[in-house]
Structure 1
Amino acid sequence: MQEIMQFVGRHPILSIAWIALLAAVLYTTFKGLTSKVKVITRGEATRLINKEEAVVVDLRTRDEFRKGHIPSALNLQTAEIKNNNFGELEKHKSSPIIIVDANGVNAQEPGALLNKAGFERVFVLKEGIAGWSGENLPLVRGKGK
């Protein structure tokens, strides 16, 4: 314990940074555990799509979507979700919904909004389209849905 106190005394900025990093990790972990929107792997997503007819919602821009998206995915922008403009997705409230973005970073908030709007089972694809295409899983080019 004495060594820790000496270290803190000699390196206050490093100690503060370490405490802040620890707090951030704890916050992120707790938030992930309590969130109703769960992050799933590509294997889990494939199972949901094949076995439970999950609906994939791609949040990327129209151009990015046309360059390659998961088969049968719907292209819906985050702004549309914020405005409760769900379009074709509205009829799938009881189906599993898989939210996909470019890299899995910006999908949590739209997922939470969908959950709040009454969609029962909402998931976020870990690593987004980048992870999906990195595993050589199928992508469809063109307009899509």
Structure 2
Amino acid sequence: MEQYIEFVGNHAVLSIIWLAIVAMIVSSFIKSKFSAIRQINPQQLTLLVNREEGQVVDIRAIKEFNAGQIAGAKHLSAEKAKQSEFVGLEKLKSKPIILVCTTGMTASGIANTMHKAGFEQVYVLNGGMGAWQNAGLPTTSGK
């Protein structure tokens, strides 16, 4: 124990940095466990759609959406979603909504906006369409 006290005394800056990193890791873990938004994988997405009537909402650019999307997905432009314009989705507030973007990053922010707008079950496809395609799952094109 004396060695730890001596180390902290001799390396105060290093010890503070270490404590800050630990605090950030713990904070991130707590936020992920208690967040209303859940990250799901492609298999979980399939289960939500098939068993709980989940709706896939693709927020990629329309060109990307038309090139290939998950079957049954609705398109919603990211710009409209960022402005809380969820046209056509109002009836789905109590159903699972799974947001899909290219990598999963854009969808996380929009998922928070949707949750604040009253959508009860909002999910994000972890890894976006890249994860869906890497899992070898089918896409449809040309809506």
TM-score, scaled relative to structure 2: 0.85
5+ residue gaps, structure 1? none
Matches within 5 A, 1:9-48: 14-48=14-48
Identity fraction in percent: 38
Q: 1:104 to 1:11 in 2, by over 3 A?
A: farther
For 2:68 and 2:13, the matched residues in 1 are separated by 46
1:93 aligned to 2:55? no
1:84 aligned to 2:105? no
Code of the aligned partner of 1:137: L
Match of 1:74 in 2: 74
- Residues paired across the two proteins, number: 143
Match of 2:123 in 1: 123
Q: 1:104 to 1:9 in 2, by over 3 A?
A: farther
For 1:122 and 1:92, the matched residues in 2 are separated by 11
1:66 CA drift (Å): 2.1
Code of the aligned partner of 1:39: Q
Point out 4+ residue stretches in structure 1 off by more than 6 angstroms.
none
Q: 1:5 to 1:49 in 2, by over 3 A?
A: same
For 2:76 and 2:48, the matched residues in 1 are separated by 20
TM-score, scaled relative to structure 1: 0.84
Q: CA-atom RMSD, angstroms?
A: 2.0
5+ residue gaps, structure 2? none
Higher alpha-carbon deviation: 43-52 or 76-85 = 76-85
Matches within 5 A, 1:92-111: 92-111=92-111
Match of 2:58 in 1: 58
Code of the aligned partner of 2:71: P
